[in-house]
């Protein structure tokens, strides 16, 4: 009886449900269709047959994203310039790579590139750097978004209290500036939009 009880206890508190995990493809063998069919509302990206589960954002991270979203939304909605959305939102960079930036904007003139399942690229993406893997936003996605032809990329770095504004020139990004509290960062895609960097970082503490 003791062994049966121990077995039942191990089923409750022991290893993960491997049977369920086996229903999914192995890493490197995922198709785009299988990735798009994943249930739930999680931050999961796709890269050449692999799925990448992103960490849960912190409150400070989400406060910054919320501040940015509200500021951009008010500006673009007033002039009917396009669509701004926040993660989870799938942005297809190429047939074998899908990312979920913290914020993505598409000009109204490019609305045909927006579908219900994913967007085909974007005109402006913003990432708030996560400290679990800073290289992902600072280097890897900088290269990927440029290769995908996204005209503008903002890297919001809470650790260093700065916003790096990048513009696409041919097939690479060039820095238009690094902005800190006391500065205003401006977009080249959304003409006239200006962000108070100090207010944005202050929102992280609310």
Residue 38 has pLDDT above 90, yes or no: no
Range 33-45 average pLDDT: 63
- Going from N- to C-terminal start, the domains of the chain cover 2-53, 59-203
What are the residues whose beta carbons fall under 8 Å from the beta carbon of 140, sequence distance 6 or more?
none
* Greater pLDDT, 18 or 153: 153
Do residues 87 and 55 make contact, with C-beta atoms less than 8 angstroms apart?
no
Please write down the long-range contacts of 185-188, taking CB distance under 8 Å and 24 or more positions apart.
185/154, 187/124, 187/152, 188/151, 188/152
Q: What average pLDDT does this structure show over 138-147?
A: 95
Cα-to-chain-centroid distance, residue 116: 17
pLDDT(7) > 60 = no
SS3 at position 76 = helix
**pLDDT computed for residue 49 by the predictor:** 63
Q: How far is CA 137 from the centre of its chain?
A: 9
Q: What average pLDDT does the chain have?
A: 86
Q: Which of 72, 81, 79 is nearest to 103 (CA)?
A: 72
Q: How many CB atoms lie within 10 A of CB 163?
A: 24
Reply yes or no on whether the pLDDT at 20 is more than 90. Answer: no
The pLDDT value recorded for residue 5 is: 47
Q: 33: pLDDT confidence band, cut at 50, 70 and 90?
A: low
Q: Among residues 176, 163, 158, 144, which one has the least CA distance to residue 46?
A: 144
The larger pLDDT score, comparing residue 206 to residue 168, is at 168
In angstroms, the CA 34 to CA 32 distance is: 5
Q: How confident is the model at residue 206 (pLDDT cuts 50, 70, 90)?
A: confident
Which pair of structure tokens corresponds to residue 154? 């903002």
pLDDT > 50? residue 55: yes
pLDDT for residue 94 is more than 60: yes
For 59-203, CATH gives: 3.90.1570.10
pLDDT at 112 over 80: yes
């Amino acid at each position: 009886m003791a062994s049966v009880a121990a077995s039942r206890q191990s089923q409750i508190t022991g290893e993960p449900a491997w049977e369920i995990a086996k229903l999914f493809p192995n890493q490197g063998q995922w198709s785009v269709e299988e990735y798009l069919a994943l249930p739930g509302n999680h931050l999961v990206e796709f890269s050449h047959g692999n799925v990448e589960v992103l960490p849960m954002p912190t409150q400070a991270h989400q406060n910054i994203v919320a501040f940015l979203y509200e500021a951009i939304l008010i500006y673009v909605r007033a002039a009917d310039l396009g669509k701004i959305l926040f993660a989870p939102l799938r942005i297809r960079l190429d047939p074998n790579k899908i990312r979920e930036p913290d914020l993505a904007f598409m000009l109204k003139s490019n609305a045909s590139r927006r579908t219900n399942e994913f967007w085909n690229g974007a005109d402006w993406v913003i990432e708030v750097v996560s400290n679990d893997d800073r290289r992902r936003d600072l280097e890897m996605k900088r290269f990927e978004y440029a290769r995908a032809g996204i005209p503008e990329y903002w890297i919001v770095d809470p650790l260093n209290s700065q916003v790096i504004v990048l513009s696409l020139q041919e097939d690479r990004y060039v820095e238009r500036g690094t902005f800190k509290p006391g500065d205003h960062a401006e977009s080249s895609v959304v003409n006239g939009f200006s962000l108070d960097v100090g207010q944005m970082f202050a929102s992280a503490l609310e």
